[in-house]
Amino acid sequence: MLSRTADNLYWIARYIERAETAARLLEVGARIALLPSAAGYRNEWDSLLSASGTASAFSEKYGEAIQRNLESWFFFDRDNPSSVASCITNARENARIVRTALTSQVWDALNTAFQELKAMERRPRSQLALSQLTEWATRNSALVRGCIDATLLRNDGWDFLNLGFNLERADNTARLMDVKYYVLLPRADFVGSGLDNYQWTTLLRSMSAHRAFHWAYGGDVTSDKIADFLILNRQCPRGLITCVDGMNKHLDQLATAYGKSNDAQVKAKHLLTELSGLTVSDIFEEGLHEFLTRFIRDVATLGAAVHESYLNGDQR
Amino acid sequence: MTTYFNEMFLGNKVREPYRGLKDWMATMPAELRQMKQAEAEDLFRRIGITFAVYGEGGDPDRLIPFDMFPRVFSAQEWFKLERGIKQRARALNAFLVDVYGRGEIVRAGRIPAHLVYQNEAYEKAVVGFVPPKGVYSHIVGIDLVRTGPDEFFVLEDNCRTPSGVSYMLENREIMMRMFPDLFRENRIEPVDSYPELLRHTLASVAPSKCNGDPTIAILTPGHFNSAYYEHSFLADLMGVELVEGQDLFVEGEFVYMRTTEGPKRLDVIYRRIDDAFIDPLCFRPDSMLGVPGLMDVYRSGGVSICSAPGAGVADDKAVYTFVPEMIRFYLGEEPILNNVPTWQCGKADDCKYVLDHLNELVVKEVHGSGGYGMLVGPKATKEMVETFRAKITSHPENYIAQPTLALSTTPTFVEEGVAPRHVDLRPYCLVGERIELVPGGLTRVALTEGSLVVNSSQGGGVKDTWVLAE
């Protein structure tokens, strides 16, 4: 397939996943904000902005971090390249370019989402509750993913799409976990307190994973178990190791189909090997934030290798 | 007051081809019609068929208005049209091979040399080159209008990259979805073989150096182009790649696509970009759309380009006047379809006549397209007429004029119900090893009452076009 087509497919997936993350961030922020805040806390909304990496752009445009502004920023604002609106629009534009590589169902799902988004933008904001917005975004990304799953040929295009999904999701899960770090940082003695648990649970909720967590672990919610679940447990669909596993699978399939291996495949294998050998106490020893930062960087490097190997089209 | 030929009603009588639509029209309640219209629009939008209009700004996702009232031809009517269209497509291609070769028609004095050789569209880079199977224009779009039961006129020829065929296919698709009964009750020739015929046509002109199954691609200027939807639609239906200039590169004597598996050789390019943008080394050095070196590969038989660079010289509005001559000269036949009488402002006598009769005539720019730079005399304001008078006086050779034709009307759904609106027709003739024409085309309709301009860029709409089986 054309390198440019592969690139477009890969980015459709990344944008869809990213739109969902923006919505989930908004959800987690709104829930945390419902807590009575204690002295010495950073503003919960700030933590969200830090985790999404858009804090400075936001304060430049809006100044105050109040919910209405955050809603605008994470959902509607085209100046925020990671907002739901930006991502859906970009995903749809990428899809429009590679219509030939998609089934009509996939296109229909993406295009309908885009048209609905435009209709929402015309409605007065007072009519749109935050939960409506976030549910709309998660539902539509699920719809797109479902259409891809159900109707697309299992060829290299499928691999590039899934590579995009897994890579973006690994990055995003790591960032969502980092929100917790920012919120929690000031007072170490909160660890294990009721508030601490509430925050962890909220994190799980934001990934639609709190029920799943209880099925997998049972008992109380502890930071150890959650870190294990979201980082090291292959059962968790949004877990880091699950995503890295997925990247490996699709990179392997590409290498087999094309009959040649490359740097991206090697890097992905390394990352998987490292995660497989880790325990939760290793991670906390390094520091959760430090670990996550390093992981996000590794994933970015892997992303660059994918571009180099397949998407630039310079290889002869 | 001009009377217009109504294709459905002759006085109170319904003409034969439209008989199947009489009850349908009479029994459709207004609510149902509105519902269907909304449904059609929704389908179009969801499919993503939109049309961006150059120079108008506004919504890039604007839809071309779709009118649900079909336009119908009987088998006999179509039989004549088909012969006429194919005849014209053959003559135009013979002309192109000739003027890039020995130029017999010029030597014979049947067409003035300067009209050909000093024409902007005349491509010196391909002089002496004969494309595979001697075909320059592989997709010929011929714009036709009708003024009476048997009176058809060719308004213009489009030998480069005529667009709109996706609407022909999608209009039918949507009509069949919305009104399946109509298709059960009427015997309507299908048009859906077009993409396959196009693929066969392209494959049949594979270059000499290609052995085995040719790899075909559509070359598009990119997704910002107003016809991008059509490019991707055709690529999809034919199962060929849709490429941009940046996806291609030349190495040695071939052109390759950049793919995830490395370079892949390309044999036939159906290009939807203008000559000037094909190859920056050969044409415009500032073009980012094309592929450096592509013309060298083309001339040495490493790749076929459809339509062939240089094909534009045959559809120039000044050359148009001579198409009947071409038919006589190359085919030894009389033209089946007539030209519209045309005055060339470049000729002193003609120019004088045009300037004296601006209020009655349609004036067109020789190199213009899409209804831009056009004056419809009877509908124009005084200022517009004077603007054109000045333009023609300063550059007479840039303009031609034609009588305002009494374009036929067909019933069309409008706000108040059903009313006659003016239409034209663009069939798409395919020329490769064989000449093919699917029974149908794109009917464009001027939705504004009394308007004669059907161009989608000027507020025109489209209709499904039926050819009835015998």
User: Is 80 exceeded by the pLDDT of residue A36?
Assistant: no
Q: What is the mean pLDDT of residues B407-428?
A: 92
pLDDT for A273 equals: 97
Partner-chain contact B262 A96, CB within 8 Å = no
pLDDT for B44 equals: 80
Partner-chain contact B259 A316, CB within 8 Å = no
DSSP state of B377: G
pLDDT for A137 equals: 96
For B16, the token pair is 């034969």
> Shortest CB distance from B242 goes to which of A100, A311, A314?
A100
- Show me where the domains of chain A are located: 3-311
Report the alpha-carbon distance of residue A230 to residue A120 in Å, rounded: 33
Looking at beta carbons, which residues of chain A come within 8 Å of B259?
1-3, 313
Q: Which whole-number Å values give the CA distances from B170 to A114, A249, A250, B43, B387, in the listed order?
A: 22, 39, 36, 10, 39
> Shortest CB distance from A3 goes to which of B229, B235, B260?
B260
DSSP state of A2: B
Looking at beta carbons, which residues of chain A come within 8 Å of B226?
none
For B189, the token pair is 């020739």
Report the gap between the CA of B263 and the closest CA in chain A (Å). Answer: 6
For B223, the token pair is 């997704």
> Shortest CB distance from B260 goes to which of A98, A112, A156?
A156
Sign of CA dihedral B192, B197, B198, B200: positive
pLDDT in tens, B120-178: 899 999 999 999 999 999 999 999 999 999 999 999 999 999 989 999 999 999 999 99
Nearest chain A residue to B250 by CA: give it: A316
Q: Are B100 and B127 in contact (CB under 8 A)?
A: yes
Partner-chain contact A2 B228, CB within 8 Å = no
pLDDT for B54 equals: 45
Please report which residue ranges of A98-239 form alpha helices under DSSP H. 104-122, 130-151, 156-184, 194-206, 210-217, 223-227
Of A11-15, B276-280, B410-414, minimum mean pLDDT range? B276-280
User: Is 70 exceeded by the pLDDT of residue B50?
Assistant: no
Partner-chain contact A100 B236, CB within 8 Å = yes
Sign of CA dihedral B11, B16, B21, B27: positive
A192: confidence class by pLDDT, cuts 50, 70, 90: low
Looking at beta carbons, which residues of chain A come within 8 Å of B223?
93, 96-97
pLDDT in tens, B384-411: 899 999 999 999 988 889 998 889 999 9
For testing contact with chain A, the best of B260, B265, B266 (most A CBs within 10 A): B260
> Shortest CB distance from A313 goes to which of B45, B241, B258?
B258
Q: Are A310 and A283 in contact (CB under 8 A)?
A: no
Looking at beta carbons, which residues of chain A come within 8 Å of B261?
1, 258
pLDDT for B61 equals: 61
Q: Are A41 and A186 in contact (CB under 8 A)?
A: yes
> Shortest CB distance from A2 goes to which of B48, B233, B243?
B243
Report the gap between the CA of B53 and the closest CA in chain A (Å). Answer: 18
> Shortest CB distance from A3 goes to which of B47, B235, B259?
B259
What is the DSSP track for B233-287?
HHHHHHT-EEE-GGGEEEETTEEEEEETTEEEEE-EEEE-S-GGGT-TTTS-TT-
Q: Report helix angle A240-258 to A263-276, nearest 10.
A: 150
Residue % of chain A over a pLDDT of 90: 56
Nearest chain B residue to A93 by CA: give it: B223
B66: Cβ–Cβ under 8 A, 6 or more apart, which residues? B40, B41, B44, B171, B174, B461, B462, B463
Look up the pTM and report it: 0.85
> Shortest CB distance from A258 goes to which of B46, B257, B260?
B260
Looking at beta carbons, which residues of chain B come within 8 Å of A254?
260
Report the gap between the CA of A105 and the closest CA in chain B (Å). Answer: 10
Winning range, highest mean pLDDT, from A207-221, B45-59, B292-306: B292-306
Q: Are B307 and B161 in contact (CB under 8 A)?
A: yes
Looking at beta carbons, which residues of chain A come within 8 Å of B229?
99
Report the gap between the CA of B316 and the closest CA in chain A (Å). Answer: 32
Report the gap between the CA of B261 and the closest CA in chain A (Å). Answer: 6
Winning range, highest mean pLDDT, from A55-64, B18-27, B42-51, B91-100: B91-100
What are B233's strand-pairing partners? none
Chain A, chain B: beta-carbon pairs less than 8 Å apart: 63
Q: Which of B299, B270, B295, B275 is closest to B287 using CA atoms?
A: B275
Nearest chain B residue to A108 by CA: give it: B46
Report the alpha-carbon distance of residue A18 to residue A8 in Å, rounded: 15
A241: confidence class by pLDDT, cuts 50, 70, 90: very high
Structural domains in chain B plus CATH codes: 9-190+314-335+408-467 (no CATH), 208-302 (3.40.50.11290), 341-403 (3.30.1490.270)
**Radius of gyration of the CA atoms of chain B, in A:** 22
User: Is 60 exceeded by the pLDDT of residue B369?
Assistant: no
| Residue A222 Ramachandran class (φ > 0 left, ψ -120 to 50 alpha, else beta) | beta
Q: Which of B183, B152, B159 is closest to B425 using CA atoms?
A: B152
Report the alpha-carbon distance of residue B294 to residue B278 in Å, rounded: 7
Q: What is the mean pLDDT of residues A137-150?
A: 96
pLDDT for B123 equals: 93
Please report, to the nearest 10 degrees, the dihedral formed by the alpha carbons of residues A183, A188, A189, A192 taken in order. 70
Q: B167-190: b or e for each residue (b if 16 or more CB lie within 10 Å)? A: bbbbbbebbeebbeebeeebebee
Half-sphere exposure of B34 (CA within 13 A, CB side): 6
Q: Which is more confidently placed, A224 or A171? A: A171
Partner-chain contact B262 A316, CB within 8 Å = yes
Half-sphere exposure of B186 (CA within 13 A, CB side): 28
Q: What is the mean pLDDT of residues A30-50?
A: 66
Q: For the complex shown, is ipTM > 0.85?
A: no
User: Is 90 exceeded by the pLDDT of residue B41?
Assistant: no
Q: Is B336 helix (H, G, I), strand (E, B) or coil?
A: coil
pLDDT in tens, B209-247: 998 999 999 999 998 888 888 998 999 899 999 999 999
Residues from A in contact with B at Cβ < 8 Å = 1-6, 93, 96-100, 104, 107-108, 111-112, 115, 156, 160, 254, 258, 310-311, 313-316
Partner-chain contact A115 B46, CB within 8 Å = yes
Looking at beta carbons, which residues of chain A come within 8 Å of B174?
none
Residue with tokens 């009176």: B151
Q: Are A159 and A140 in contact (CB under 8 A)?
A: no
Looking at beta carbons, which residues of chain B come within 8 Å of A5?
241
Partner-chain contact B260 A4, CB within 8 Å = no
pLDDT in tens, B313-335: 999 888 999 999 999 999 999 99
Report the gap between the CA of A130 and the closest CA in chain B (Å). Answer: 27
What is the DSSP track for B149-203?
SS-EEEEEEE-S----HHHHHHHHHHHHHH-HHHHHHS-B---TTHHHHHHHHHH
For residue A147, the one-letter residue type is C
| Residue A105 Ramachandran class (φ > 0 left, ψ -120 to 50 alpha, else beta) | alpha
What is the helix, strand, coil percentage profile of chain B, to 5? 35, 25, 40
How many of the other CB atoms lie within 10 Å of CB of B434? 11
